[in-house]
Chain A
Amino acid sequence: MPSQEPPRRRVPGPARPRPAAGSGGRTPRPAPRPAARRPAPRPPARKPRTIKLGSPRPRLRLISVGLTLVMLVFVVRLLQVQAVDASAYAAKADKYRYQEYTLSAERGEITDRNGIALATSVDAYDITADPKLFTAEESKLRDAPEQAAALLAPILGKEPADLAKKLRTPKSRYTLLARKQTPQVWNQIKDLRKVYAQKAQEPGGTGVNLLGGVLSEPSTKRVYPNGDLGAGILGYVNAEGRGAGGVESMLDPELAGQDGKIRFTASGGRQVPTAGSQGTPAVPGSDIELTIDRDIQWAAQRAIADQVQKSRADRGYVIVQDTRTGEILAMANAPGFDPNDLSAANAAAMGNAALQDAYEPGSTSKVMSMAAVLEEGKAAPDTHVTVPNRLHRGDRLFKDDIDHPTWYLTLNGVLAKSSNIGTILATGQLGKDQAESNRVLDGYLRRFGIGSPTGLGFPGETAGILAKPEDWSTSQQYTIPFGQGLSVNALQAASVYSTIANGGVRVEPTLVRGTKGPDGRFTPAPKPGENRVVSEKTATTLAQMLESVVDDREGTGTKAAIPGYRVAGKTGTANRVDPELGRYKGYTASFAGFAPADQPRVTVYCAIQNPTKGSYFGGQICGPIYKKVMEFALKTLHVAPTGSASPRLPVTFEPTP
């Protein structure tokens, strides 16, 4: 160590002028400097060769300036990267570092009132292929697409020629072979692919897997386990899996849930295990519980489908409603469709015609006229009404459905025999003049729910047509009392009978009982609105009058009688406005009623549009459907007959000469 001292002592020499140069900020210890300057004998210590050492000063300065500049550039760049453009760069970096996936939310189920699934979602696979791998160069086979198609066709249930054509798509790397296949189908294909992979590796093989280009994409499929059962109510989903009709569309936000997201640090496309991940989990959709009873729906659907076919009718509807709660137990349409296979469905049958068709109800709406007459106290069930064969009113000559000599009917008989003339005569008593009568009748019709939406909020639902009473034409004011010149949908018509069955209080119909959220908690639907339309007494009287329609020998609805039960009902045979021609052509046959008449539980409404074969009278073709469906509903709901006797109100009276 001592041997090195002399040269070291010499080194400080050149540094002496530095403090004078003023660039003193470099050393952190300025204190020793004056001390170093003071020893004067330094200059003599200098020797000629130390001059060489003095020259590094400008060099050092140059270097330090250079370094400073470089550092400055770095600092500026650092500032730019870290402060000015920080967010942009961070985002760019994140793009490479993080991978983000959408976690698709599971769509909720739709169940019937007993929790039986009517619509549910299952896992499925879209089977795709890479046509490039089937070209002659890649597969080393001339007819690879044909060979592969022949293998896949039986599994996918498609035509081999179609598949081969898809696999031959030129200059493409993607083709969709089949949509929404079950996992079992994909497993079969995977197994087959494995077999061919082994085969290709064998000595005689081409070395290329024939099915190597067949791929899959996970997806979900909406399944309707009961096929066409209640299809009109349930609706269907579109290719994106969103509701496109019926309840699926009406309650799509609830059913769809909320898609989640997952984000994790990835390296080479794989998750870095230690880095963790973050994101929001998917919120599955709520399950919807309908008021529909699957079995009653089935009975209703089968009954109406058979009759529509037998009568070669355009369509038909059956509605079954709980009279006390307003819940719709069944709403069947014919013809229907299978939401599992929309490609085979008839576009015209894909709606819910029971809510979307507005038609003239005909005689079934006479019960509202009778309700008005009774409630206003203008007549009683035994009031005598003399019904001539023809009645001249306004600009028209009105007649009943059959030619008859002058009938001597009670008001009850007018309803039982469904006399148009009798109804016109009775409703004429509602006001002092026709205009007032119209206003009074209109008030009742509207309170029964005619001309306004039913409150279901169903997509495409019609509110029907009921003009303002001051706009009623000369003939309309006489036809509306017996159900022509106004339009309703089937549910509105059914609701009228439920109102009478429920003691004159109209309960808004409901289709949804409640929803079960992802947390498993059941939220019942809000209670439906209620309003009194007629008094309890009027409702009871009307129920008794409606019984005469079914149980009286001369009634029009005898085919609807159920042995052992007291059944109230009303037939309807309306002239139908052909929607294409825009004029009256054909008929609308209908039947509405409830049972048991003295303690009503169930309302059944049936209508058939444009029956062209056999009878077109409501009592003849809809009566039996009513009977079938009502029997089934009574059995399903365990409604026993009350055992009381029907009052058998008189239908006719003996005219006093």
Chain B
Amino acid sequence: MSAARGPLKGRAARLGRLMPSGPSSAARTPFVLLVVLLLGGGLITLLLLNSALNQGSFRLRELKDRTTELTDEEQALQRDVDAYAAPDALERRARELGMVPGGSPAFLGPDGKVLGEPTVATSPKPSRTPSRAPGRTGDPARAREAAAPGASASPKPAVTGTAPTAPTTSGR
């Protein structure tokens, strides 16, 4: 056999390799099955991957829409808040409640001392307020804006109790 092989070297050997190498009837079924399985498995994996990606992109889209929606809502609400909080609007609403702008400020010190000259606030244009006895309820309190005398002194918490009665100037 080895003698017969000898001449098969070189070009002949190379060409020979291209020829069918005889009836090798090794069991083909497992191999075919393997290939089918591999191909099928690959296809299914791809399909799953694709649908997972799509699902992700749907979710992304959904969340983006939701973000936009919420941002829009937030901005719309902020617009409403701003409209209510604008000084002009506050002043108008205060007037509707019967309030009038306070005059010169007066301060009530922690020791009960009054700084400044408290006066009764009067409506500069009484004709503008439609209701009878405009601002009668708030008048005496309005003239006195309570705070600690001198900003350098630490404001006493007790004093702030009286402060909220004087929002006539639509301040903070």
Contacts and interface: CB of A to CB of B under 8 A. Distances in A.
Nearest to B108: A640
B170 interface: yes
Contact of B106 (A294, A298, A564): A564
23 contacts: A4-B19, A5-B4, A8-B7, A9-B12, A12-B12, A29-B10, A183-B75, A184-B72, A184-B76, A226-B82, A294-B87, A295-B87, A295-B170, A563-B117, A563-B119, A564-B105, A564-B116, A635-B102, A635-B169, A636-B171, A638-B148, A641-B107, A643-B115
Contacts of B8: 5, 8
A193 B120 CA distance: 60
A298 B87 CA distance: 7
B105 A635 contact: yes
A528 interface: no
Chain A CB count within 10 A is highest, among B15, B102, B106, for B106
A640 B149 contact: yes
A562 B4 CA distance: 130
A223 B9 CA distance: 89
A141 interface: no
Contacts of B7: 5, 8-9, 12
Nearest to B163: A638
How many A residues are at the interface, by size bracket? 35 or more
Interface string B90-125: 000000000000111111010000011101000000
How many B residues are at the interface, by size bracket? 35 or more
Interface string B123-166: 00000000000000000000001011111000100000000000
Contacts of A229: 86-88
A81 interface: no
A469 to B, nearest CB: 42
A639 interface: yes
B57 interface: yes
Contact of B115 (A295, A631, A641): A641
A275 to B, nearest CB: 11
A4 B53 CA distance: 57
A227 B15 contact: no
Given A12-B12, A229-B86, A2 B4 contact: yes
Contacts of B82: 117, 225-226
Given A183-B72, A229-B86, A295-B171, 11 more contacts: A12-B10, A15-B11, A32-B9, A187-B72, A226-B82, A229-B88, A294-B87, A563-B103, A563-B116, A638-B148, A640-B116
B62 to A, nearest CB: 16
B151 A632 contact: no
Contact of B169 (A2, A184, A632): A632
A202 to B, nearest CB: 27
Contacts of B104: 562-565, 631
B91 to A, nearest CB: 8
Contacts of A568: none
A456 interface: no
Nearest to B4: A5
A122 B155 CA distance: 39
Contacts of A27: 10-11
B40 interface: no
A226 B172 contact: no
B79 interface: yes
B87 A226 contact: yes
Nearest to B54: A273
Contacts of A201: none
B30 interface: no
Contact of B15 (A11, A116, A123): A11
Given A563-B119, A640-B150, A12 B11 contact: yes
Interface in A107-164: 114, 116-117, 122-123
B103 A631 contact: yes
Interface string A622-645: 000000000110111111111100
A60 interface: no
B56 interface: yes
B16 interface: yes
A183 B87 CA distance: 26
Nearest to B8: A8
